[in-house]
Every structure is written in C-alpha cells, then in structure tokens.
Amino acid sequence: MPAPGRKLLPWLFPVFLLAAAVWALSIGTLPPADLTFCNATEVKSIDPHRINGQPEGRIVGALFEGLLQRHPETLKPIPGVAERWEISTDHKTYTFHLRSNALWSDGTPITAEDFHYSFRRFLLPATGGEYSTLFFVVKNSEKYTKRILAVGDPVEVELRKPADALDSIRGELLLGKLLKIEGEAPQEEEGATSDDQRVFVVEIDGKQRRFTSSKNVGGAELCETVLLDFREVGVKVVGPRAIQITLTNPTPYFLDIISYYPLAPVQRACVEKYGYPNWTKPENIVSNGAYRLQFRHIRDRIRLVKSDTYWNRDVVKLNTVDALAAENLTTMLNLYLTGKADWITDVPPGAKGELRKTRPNEYDPQPQQSIYFYRVNVTRKPLNDVRVRRALSMALDRREIVEAGPRAGEVPALSVVPPGIAGYETGLASPENVAEAQSLLAEAGYPGGRGFPTIEILYNTHEMHRSIAELIQSQWKKRLGINVGLSNQEWGVFNSSTRKLEYDISRTGWIGDYPDPNTFLDLFVSTNENNQTGFSDPKYDAMMEASGREIDPAKRLKLLHDAEAYLMQQLPIIPMFYYVSKDMVRPYVHGIYQNVRDEHPLWAMSIDQEEKARFFKAEGLK
C-alpha cells in the first residue's frame, strides 16, 4: 500500500521554488541613496567608545560629532560642538565653549554635562573602551581606567547593583579616602583571570569600611568596583556650556586627539534607558552628528539620513548615504564599474596598475600616515647584534620591493614616521649600500654570510605579504649570502606569536592615530604594549620622555627627530614602505579630498547630478 504522502511529492518542488523566490524578494529593494560607498566590512559597533577601526570611524564620524572635528582637506582641528576654546599658558589646560545651537537628534541641547558623562563612560573600565589609551594624556585618566590606586587616594566605591540591571546603569557611588590595600593586583599574563582579590579599606563619612569586587574573598563588603574618584581626573564642567580638560603634560597634539571619533559624546538618557547594545539600534539611538541612522542590515548596508537637528545642517548636501559592507575587493570594483557605488575604499591589488593608468582621475594613490615594516626580535641571536640589523636593512632594494609587492605607487621608507607632518624632519636609517652591509655582517662575525643561522620571516597569510617576503628572502640571500625561511600563520595565531616574541622577523603595518610623530615613535618605548620587538633602550626611553615634557613645539619636534634618528640606528624594526591611499572615487563626487589619513567626512561631500548623468551616459550605465 502506498504511503499517503506519495502523491504530493511531485508538487513539493514548485511549492519550494515559489516560497524561496517570495522569501528572497520579500527583503525588497530600496531606492538608491544619494551617495553609495563601500565600507569594506561590517562595522564592529557604532558605539563611539567601543571601536578603533577605520570603517567604524567613517560611520561614527557621520553619526556623532565631538568638541572639535577635522578639516576634510587639511585635517586641522576645526570647531565642532565647541565653537571656541582657550589654552592655558602652560599648555596643560584646555577650556572648550559649546555652541548654543548644538542639539541631539531628539531635539534636546548638548551640554557640558553630556561631554563629562561621555568622557567618564569612555574611561570607565566596565565600558571596555579599546581606544581609551588615547585619552591617557588627560590627568589621572590612566589611573582611573586601569584602577591604579595608592593609599591616600580619594576613591569612588560602586556598590553592587541588581543582577538584572542594564549594563549602562552604575551602582550607587560612595566617595571616600583609601586607607589601605590588602592583597595584590592581578598579574599580567596570557590567560590570567580577572579576579581582582584586593580588599580596599576606605574611610567613608568618618567610618572605615572594607570592600572587594571578588566573590571569592570573605570579610569585606562586595562591590562592583573601586576606582579613583573621578573628580581627580582632568575633566571638569565649568559652566553649562563650558568644559575644562587638564593634561598631565603639555601635549601639542591634544586637539588632534579631541577631534578624533572615539571622543564623541553619547546621550546619557538614551544610553541609560536602553543599555548597550540596544541603544545603538536605529529605533533607539540618539546622536548628534550630520547624519542619523536609518537602518542597519548586517553584512549588507548601513543607511544614513541627513539630520535635521544638526547645527551645521546647511552645509550638508547629501540627504541619504549608504555604506555597503561588501568585503570582496573585486565585488567592490564591480559595483563601482556598474555605477552602483560612487566611492570604494579599496581596490583589488591586481587591478591597481591598470586603474592607475586608465582612470587616473578616479584612482590616484597618495602617501599616507601609515607604514609597512618588519619587526626584528632583538632578544634572539644573531638579531640582537645591531650590526646585523643594519646589514639587513642596508642590503634591501626597497624600490624593487614596492614595485613587485603592493604595486600602487607606495613610497620606499627609511624612517618609521611617514613624511608629511608639518614642521617635522624625519630621522632616517642608512640608505641601501650593499658593500657596507656586507662589511657590517663580516664585522659581526659572518663574513659572506658564513655561520649565519637560518632566520625566519613570519607573516600573516596573505598574497602580498608572501610576495614581499619572498623578494626580501632572495635579496638577502643574493647580497648577504644568508639563508632566510618563510613562515605564514593565520591572523589570530600570527598576532599571538608576534606578541609572545615567538619569531625572528615579523611583518607589521601601523596607521598613525593622530598627525604627530609621537603616534609612531611611542611604539618603541620599552613599556609600550605594541613594541613587541624586545627592544628596551633606556636612552631611547629618556629621549621620548624628554619630548613629552617639552612645551616649545619646534624644540619638541627636534627632540622627536633625534629620537627617531637614534631609533633608525638601532633598528628594532626595518621600515619597508609607506602605504598610499586606496580610495577610488567618481569624479562627480565633490568635497572628498586626498589627505594623509584617508579620512573623508560625509558632511563635506556632494554630488553634481548633471555631471553624474553625463558620466553615466558616457559609460553606458543606468
């Protein structure tokens, strides 16, 4: 006897087909935005305090505006929410005055309290702000974030909050004076637990109380955390629309930092009402930038619409902007060539040469504030010998490397700070000189490369890194007679190996955070987390320290130059080349400029519709 369902089987097929088609089409198409650009990835977050990447910066920079913003062409700090500011004579105190017409997207005015709240949230350990180190130039902010406490410090004790409380609400705060710390801070090592078993004895209203944040410690009141009293941190409201920031050292690039997107404000009412991440949902978010968030489709697009509450809305030309998440570089180029994207933020490496020739108006790579270099593990033999490191650097033909590897007009590098910072003269490493490289190697005990152990170049798995490493391998073999092995690792493993100094030579890229040499040179101070070369030189540390204290800008840059020149003699890293910009933009998009950080604020952009129509007609696009 046949089973009852058998007759139905042939019908399942068309039913499935129809259902799938309806399902797929139900997502629907959208009217195209005024401007569509490829952001090259799905952003990690749109919470300004939790991000540190360029794609995230493009979105957050459109949604939020800090005290200052950056000029789209020169990148000089220009007024944002603050209309003017004063700098004290010792260059340590900045007072920002907020404009009266700066509004949140819900129509409420932006006050100095909003910035106070935001800076505090940015620094609060529970926020987990990855970029909070940028703000450590502010007095006592590092102590606050990293919970560095000493006996006698005024502290804030955050009492336990209910288990179901939103993460954005803090427990009740008690202020007091730290009398005693029992126990040790947790050790810094891979895989260590966060359990901070310290007990803090705090005097509150004349009474001594004992607090701990660990559930595994008895004999003390359980609290969320004990932090330095935030009033000790150099962030102070000095009027309803005035906020004062005090720095540890005079920091000439402070305005560049304060204009950076992680320093944008968030609205306390919104954040506390919904908590993270729900406050970032389109239906909940309150922002203050030139654009509002209309919707987000994961891995598809983020749509931004012009804000009607933004104080400078008259200069904003584009009403809607789509940021596509497409990651495949060829796909991005296809979208561009078929007229579906007006601006792509990267192009396929294989097409670079061709595009530079055929579309020079659209793709014109320019040097950036970012560098490609090799870390050298100075704790391993024979790389601990400075003569060997210099020989390795001097034996390189960097011209050949940029022409065979990245091929987009990258500039060979002999310094770690890319050129283009006003008033700064880079400190250079010795240029290519094969004869001297050979004699340095001989001096170090390896004449003609004899006796030199095989060293290995480590890179993360990537076509370009491999071809560069192969070229360097052959240059060193040919010119120095040494044997070099290659090893590639998947990204996560690669980062872990580099951090643990489990390498001889490791490739790296670094993008400056602000237009100042310090953002590059500070990396090689012995205490910097990102040093990762084992290089620890008291002389270099002292030089950098001295530059941090110098008030006079010209003298300071001279000190930094000397430090770099010294670093380029020691060569814990071998600079290879400076990156170039990767953007490709249709000529009918105006208000997008070449600059050294590849930062392009959307508020400055516009589209010439007539020019676009002409352009599309000429290329046969619809």
Partner 1 sequence: MIGFLVNRLLWTAATMWVVFTITFFLMRSVPGGPFDGERKLDPEIKRNIETRYGTNDPLPVQYFRELGKVCRGDLGPSYKLADYTVNEIIAQGFPVSASLGTLALCFAIGLGLPVGILAATRRGKLPDYGSMTIATIGMALPEFFVAPLAIILFVFVWPLFPAAGWGSWQQLILPSVCLGLPYAAYIARLTRTGMLDVLSQDYIRTAHAKGLAPRDVVLRHALKGAMLPVVSFLGPATAGILTGSLIEEAIFAIPGLGIHFVQSAQQRDYTLAMGLVLLYFLLLSLMNLVVDVLYKLLDPRVKLDS
Query: Of the listed pieces 18-26, 359-367, 465-473, 536-544, which binds partner 1 according to CB under 8 A?
Result: 18-26
Q: Does 215 bind partner 1 (CB under 8 A)?
A: no
Which residues inside 586-605 make contact with partner 1, applying CB under 8 A? none
Q: Based on CB atoms, which residue is closest to partner 1, 10 or 206? A: 10
Cβ–Cβ < 8 Å for 96, 67? yes
Contact between 570 and partner 1 per CB under 8 A:
no
* DSSP assignment string, 192-222: -------EEEEEETTEEEEEES-TT--SSEE
DSSP 45-106: -S-GGG---HHHHHHHHHH---SEEE-TTT--EEESSEEEEEE-TTS-EEEEEE-TT-B-TT
166 binds partner 1 (CB under 8 A): no
Smallest CA-to-CA distance from 297 within 37, 53, 20, 27 is with 27
88, 101, 474, 496: which one binds partner 1 (CB under 8 A): 496
The two structure tokens encoding residue 239: 């009027």
Q: Could you say which residues in the range 245-304 bind partner 1, by CB under 8 A?
A: 277, 280-281, 296-300
Burial (0-12, 13-18, 19+ Cβ within 10 Å), 264 = buried
HSE, CB side, 13 Å, CA atoms: give it for residue 382.
23
Task: Please pick, from the candidates 181, 237, 493, 546, the single residue that binds partner 1 as defined by CB under 8 A.
Answer: 493
By beta-carbon proximity to partner 1, the closer residue of 239 and 491 is 491
> Tokens representing 101?
């017409």
From the CB of 554, what's the least distance to partner 1, in Å? Answer: 30
Residue 181 found at the interface with partner 1 (CB under 8 A): no
Per-position x/- string for 443-462, each x denoting binding to partner 1 as judged by CB under 8 A, each - no binding: --------------------
Nearer Cβ to partner 1 (27/163): 27
Applying CB under 8 A, the span of 10-18, 244-252, 428-436, 570-578 interacting with partner 1 comes to: 10-18
Nearest CA-CA partner of 456 in 414, 401, 502, 404? 502
Measured between its terminal Cα atoms, the distance across the chain in Å is 60
Contact status: 1 vs partner 1 (CB under 8 A) = yes
Amino acid at position 589, single letter: V
Least distance (Å) between residue 434 CB and partner 1: 32
- Cβ atoms of 320 and 34 closer than 8 Å: yes
Segment interacting with partner 1 (CB under 8 A) among 153-161, 366-374, 382-390, 494-502:
494-502
346 is a site residue for partner 1 (CB under 8 A): no
Q: Is 509 in the site for partner 1 (CB under 8 A)?
A: yes
Helix/strand/coil for 407: coil
> Taking CB under 8 A as the rule, does residue 375 contact partner 1?
no
Q: Which is nearer to partner 1, 30 or 159 (CB)?
A: 30
Size of the site for partner 1 (CB under 8 A): 77
Helix 386-394 with 553-570: angle, nearest 10 deg: 90
Q: Write down the least CB distance from residue 549 to partner 1, Å.
A: 22
- Helix (H) / strand (E) element for 225: namely strand 221-228
Largest CA distance in the chain: 98
Q: Which residue stretch of 14-22, 109-117, 250-258, 387-395 sits at the interface with partner 1 (rule: CB under 8 A)?
A: 14-22
Contact status: 338 vs partner 1 (CB under 8 A): yes
State the nearest-atom distance from the C-beta of 295 to partner 1, in Å.
11
To the nearest whole angstrom, how small is the minimum distance from the Cβ of residue 262 to partner 1? Answer: 13
Query: How far apart are the C-alpha atoms of 501 and 488, rounded to whole Å?
Result: 15
Is-contact 290 603, C-beta < 8 A?
yes
Q: Which residues contact 162 (CB under 8 A, 6 or more apart)?
A: none
**CA pair distance 128, 548, nearest whole angstrom:** 27
Structure tokens at 20: 């799938």
Identified binder of partner 1 from the candidate list 11, 27, 164, 314, rule CB under 8 A: 27
Give the Cα separation of 200 and 211 in Å (integer): 5
C-beta separation of 488 from 505 below 8 A = no
Rounded to a whole number of angstroms, the minimum distance from the CB of residue 284 to partner 1 is 11
Binding mask 122-161 for partner 1 (x = CB under 8 A): ---xxxxxx-xx-----------xxx--------------
Nearer to partner 1, 309 or 495 (CB): 495
Question: Are the C-beta atoms of 125 and 145 separated by less than 8 Å?
Answer: yes
Minimum gap (Å) between residue 279 Cβ and partner 1 = 10
194-213 binders of partner 1 (CB under 8 A): 194
Q: Which stretch binds partner 1 (CB under 8 A): 16-24, 83-91, 451-459, 472-480?
A: 16-24
Could you say whether residue 328 binds partner 1 (CB under 8 A)? yes
Q: Does 353 bind partner 1 (CB under 8 A)?
A: no
Position among 100, 193, 379, 609 found at the interface with partner 1 (CB under 8 A): 193
CA–CA separation, 178 and 150 (whole Å): 7
- Interface region with partner 1, contact rule CB under 8 A, candidates 108-116, 324-332, 347-355, 470-478: 324-332
Segment contacting partner 1 (CB under 8 A): 65-73, 320-328, 446-454, 550-558?
320-328
Q: Which of 108, 430, 467, 495 binds partner 1 (CB under 8 A)?
A: 495
Between 14 and 107, CB nearer to partner 1? 14
d(CA 119, CA 275): 17
Sign of CA dihedral 586, 587, 588, 593: positive
Distance CA 199, CA 482 (A): 56
Minimal distance, residue 375 CB to partner 1, in Å: 11
Round to whole Å and give the CA distance between 322 and 44: 17
Q: Exactly one of 90, 184, 188, 610 binds partner 1 (CB under 8 A); which one? A: 188
Angle at 253 between CA 249 and CA 256, to 5 degrees: 135
Does position 618 interact with partner 1 (CB under 8 A)? The reply is no
Which residues are 574's β-sheet partners? 374
